Chains A and B, each alone.
Chain A
Amino acid sequence: MDIVLEVNNLKTYFYIEQGVVRAVDGVSFTLEAGKTLGIVGESGCGKSVTSRTIMRLLSPSLARIVDGSIKYYPAGSPPIELTQVDPYGDQIRDIRGNEIAMIFQEPMTSLNPVYTIGQQIMEAILLHQDVSKEVARARAIEVLRLVGIPLPDQRVDQYPHEFSGGMRQRAMIAMALSCNPRILIADEPTTALDVTIEAQILELIQQIQHDNDMALIMITHDLNVIGEVADHVIVMYLGQVVESAPVDDIFDEPKHPYTQGLLNSLPMIGRGERLEPITGSVPGPHERPRGCPFAPRCPHVMDRCRAENPPSFTLSPASEVACWLYAEEIEVGP
C-alpha cells in the first residue's frame, strides 16, 4: 500500500460575525497512489471545504484548522504536515499545483478571460519548473493534445471565450496535469456539463490517472459519477463523515440511513416506482442539530440520536459508519 495522503480528524471552522460555522468537523481518510477516493454529499456538507483545506486555499483570518492533521507523503522524502505549513509560504507553493493539483467546478469562472489558454497553462509550468518559455509552451501544447483538444498548436493561443464548455473543462484539466501531480483533487468537475461531455471528461481523467499512477479525490453530489470512478467512498453530512466504505458496498449495501436516503432519492430508469425522498432539507450552518446531525431527517431516529453524536463504528476493515443503529452489533460482536 502506497499511501500519499492521510487526513485524520480534520476540523475546519469558520469564525464569522454570526458565530462559528463547523464546516468540516472531524473528517478522516487515507488516499493511495493510483486509487480514487469519492467524497459525496449535498450542498453544505463540507466536501469542498475539505479539499480547500488540504490545498490550504482558505484565508486563515476566516477559516481556522482547529484540530486534526493532513499528512502528505512526497516521493522519497519525509512526510509533510500540511496543517502546519504557512498558507502563503514557499513550501505550500511548491506543493500546490505541482504535486497536488485541483480542477474546479466552473471552468467559466476559474479561467482568466484576459489571458490565452496557453499563457494560463504556462504560468503553472514556469512557476514550478526551471524551464525556458519555449519549453513551457511546448509542454502546454503537449498537455492540450493529451486532453483531446483538436489543433492544440493553434488553440494554445486562443482565449477562454473561444472554447466551448467541455473544451474549457479540458483546458482546466490540462492545466492541472501540466506538472504531473501525484494527487488530483476534482471538485465537481462535470456538474456544469451535458451527460455526453461528462462521459468524455470522466473517461479522460481516469485514463490519465491510470497512465501516471495518480491518486484522485473526486468530490461530487452525483452518486452515479462516484459509482463510475471511485474505489472507496466517504459520505459526508454537515461536516462529518457518516459512512466510509468500498464503492460497491455503498451501492449494494448502504449502511447509514442518509446513504440509503440518497440512493432512494435518485430516479432510476425503469424502476417505475415513486421516489422516496429524505424528508426536510439540510439545516443551515447556524441551525446545527444536537446529537447526530442527521437525526431530524432520519426515519430510524431514536432518543439516543438526539442526545449524543454517534462515533464511527468499524463494521469491517474497510468500512465504518457513524450511526447508533450499529452500536449494538458492535458491542455484542467479538
Chain B
Amino acid sequence: MTPVEAVDAGAILEIRDLRLHFPIKAGLLKKTVAYVKAVDGVSFSVYPGETVGLVGESGSGKTTIGRCIVRLYKPTTGYIGFRTSEGVSDIANLDKRELQPIRRDIQMLFQDPNSSLNARMRVGDIIAEPLEIHAIGTADERRSRVEDLLEHVGLGAEMYNRYPHQLSGGQRQRVGVARALSIEPRLVICDEPVSALDVSVQAQVLNLLADLQEELGLTYVFIAHDLSVVEYISDRVMVMYLGKLMETAPTRKIFERPAHPYTEALLNSIPKRVRGGHRKRFVLTGDIPSPVNPPSGCVFHTRCQYAKDICKTESPPLMPLPDDPDTSVACHLVDELSLSPYYTSEERAGMETNRA
C-alpha cells in the first residue's frame, strides 16, 4: 500500500482507495475464515457546497462509506482527507482524541428517526447534547441556540420539552436535522434520511435540507436508494455496486447519458409514466452477489447483459471519459456501448417547457 498525499486542492473531502473488509470469524478459536469486502477500493472527492448522491442497491457499500467518513468504522486501508482551516487531516488514520475536533465539522443524519433518538431524553436535550460534548457555550447560551434551531427546522421552541414519542415521523427527522446542525458542521452525511417517511413528509424534509444547505453553505453526501430523490437533491451522482464505484457523473448526465450498464439497468428499473400509462420496466435478473465472494473480473459481469470474456477476468478501473472528464466509468466496453438514457435531451427540454 503506497501512501497517498492530498492532491485535490479544492476538495473539502478526498477519499483515495478506501477499503473496509469485515472479518468473518468461525470455529472455537474464532479464526478469520473470510472477509466481507464491504468497500473495496473507492476514490472520490467532494467539493464545498455541493451535494453528492451515493446510490446503489442494498449491500453495495454506500452506508459503509458514510460510516467510514464519520469514523463510526475504521477503514482497513485507504485515505480520507478532510480539509479544515488548519490544513488537511487523514481521518482514516486518526485516533480517538485527534478525531474529536474534526467531529465538530462532520455530522451524520440517520435513516430511521424512530431508533436514532433516545426515547428517554427530551427533544431539547437531544439537540443540546452535541453542544455539551464539545463544551460549547454556557447552559443558557445552549438553550437559546437549541430554541433557534427548533424554529429553524420548522418545529417551534415549544417542542423543547417534548419526548420523541410525542412527535410524528417527520417531526422526529426534523429533530435529527437540528441535532446534526447544532454544532455548525460543514459536511453532513445524510444516510437515507427520507426513506422511512411518508411521501408528503418526505418532500417537506427534502425541501428543508435544500434550504438549509443554501443558507448555511453546507456540503452533503446524500446516501439513498431512491433515484428520484437523488435526482432532486444532488449535483453529482456516484453509482456503487458490490463495494466499488461503477460510474460518477453530474446528475443530469447520469440520467441523460448513462455510461455504465449498471447505471442503465438502475434507470430502467425506475417507474416512469409515459404517454398516459406506466412503462414496462426492464428487469435486471438475479440478486446482488455476496460480498464475501465477489465475482472475478468486473463485479457486475454476472448480471450484465453486455458482458464479454474480458469482463469475467479483468477488473476495469474507474476512468474519466476522454470526451467528458466530468464523467468517470469502470467498464471495459465503455467505447462500444450505446446505452439507453432515462430521458433524451429533447425529452428533458420538453419537461422544462411544460412547467414554464
B137 at the interface (CB under 8 A from A): no
Q: Mark A257-276, 1 if CB is under 8 A from B, else 0.
A: 00001101111111111111
CB-CB contacts below 8 Å: A275-298 with B? 275-279, 281-282, 284
B266 touches A167 (CB 8 A): no
A195 touches B266 (CB 8 A): yes
B203 at the interface (CB under 8 A from A): yes
A264–B201 Cα distance when bound, in Å, is 12
A87 at the interface (CB under 8 A from B): no
**Range, interface on chain A:** 35 or more
Return 22 A-B CB contacts under 8 Å, by A number.
A165-B58, A167-B287, A197-B57, A197-B287, A199-B284, A200-B285, A202-B281, A203-B283, A227-B271, A227-B278, A228-B271, A261-B200, A262-B199, A264-B203, A265-B199, A269-B270, A270-B351, A273-B355, A277-B202, A281-B168, A281-B170, A281-B200
B-side contacts of A271, CB under 8 Å: 351, 355
- Nearest B residue to A194 via CB reads B57
User: A65-73, A105-113, A217-225, A318-326: which lies at the B interface?
Assistant: A217-225
A248–B225 Cα distance when bound, in Å, is 27
B141 at the interface (CB under 8 A from A): no
Q: How far is the CB of B36 from chain A (nearest CB, A)?
A: 15
Q: How far is the CB of B127 from chain A (nearest CB, A)?
A: 20
A230–B272 Cα distance when bound, in Å, is 15
Q: How far is the CB of B29 from chain A (nearest CB, A)?
A: 24
B228 at the interface (CB under 8 A from A): yes
A199–B200 Cα distance when bound, in Å, is 23
Q: Mark B172-211, 1 if CB is under 8 A from A, else 0.
A: 0000000000000000000000000011111110110010
Known A200-B283, A262-B199, A277-B207; judge A270-B342 contact (CB<8 A): yes
How many chain-B residues does the 8 Å CB contact rule pick out?
48
A270 touches B255 (CB 8 A): yes
Known A248-B277, A281-B201; judge A272-B355 contact (CB<8 A): yes
B-side contacts of A227, CB under 8 Å: 271, 273, 278
Q: How far is the CB of A155 from chain B (nearest CB, A)?
A: 13
A194 touches B225 (CB 8 A): yes
Q: Mark A149-174, 1 if CB is under 8 A from B, else 0.
A: 00000000000000011110000000
Known A166-B287, A269-B342; judge A277-B271 contact (CB<8 A): no
A265 touches B202 (CB 8 A): yes
A-side contacts of B232, CB under 8 Å: 267, 275
Q: Mark B312-356, 1 if CB is under 8 A from A, else 0.
A: 000000000000000000000000000000110001100110010
B11 at the interface (CB under 8 A from A): no
B227 at the interface (CB under 8 A from A): yes
B-side contacts of A268, CB under 8 Å: 228
A22–B100 Cα distance when bound, in Å, is 51
A275 touches B198 (CB 8 A): no
B-side contacts of A248, CB under 8 Å: 276-277
B-side contacts of A194, CB under 8 Å: 57-58, 225, 288
B105 at the interface (CB under 8 A from A): no
CB-CB contacts below 8 Å: A184-225 with B? 194-200, 202-203, 221-225
A251–B282 Cα distance when bound, in Å, is 22
A42 at the interface (CB under 8 A from B): yes
A134 at the interface (CB under 8 A from B): no
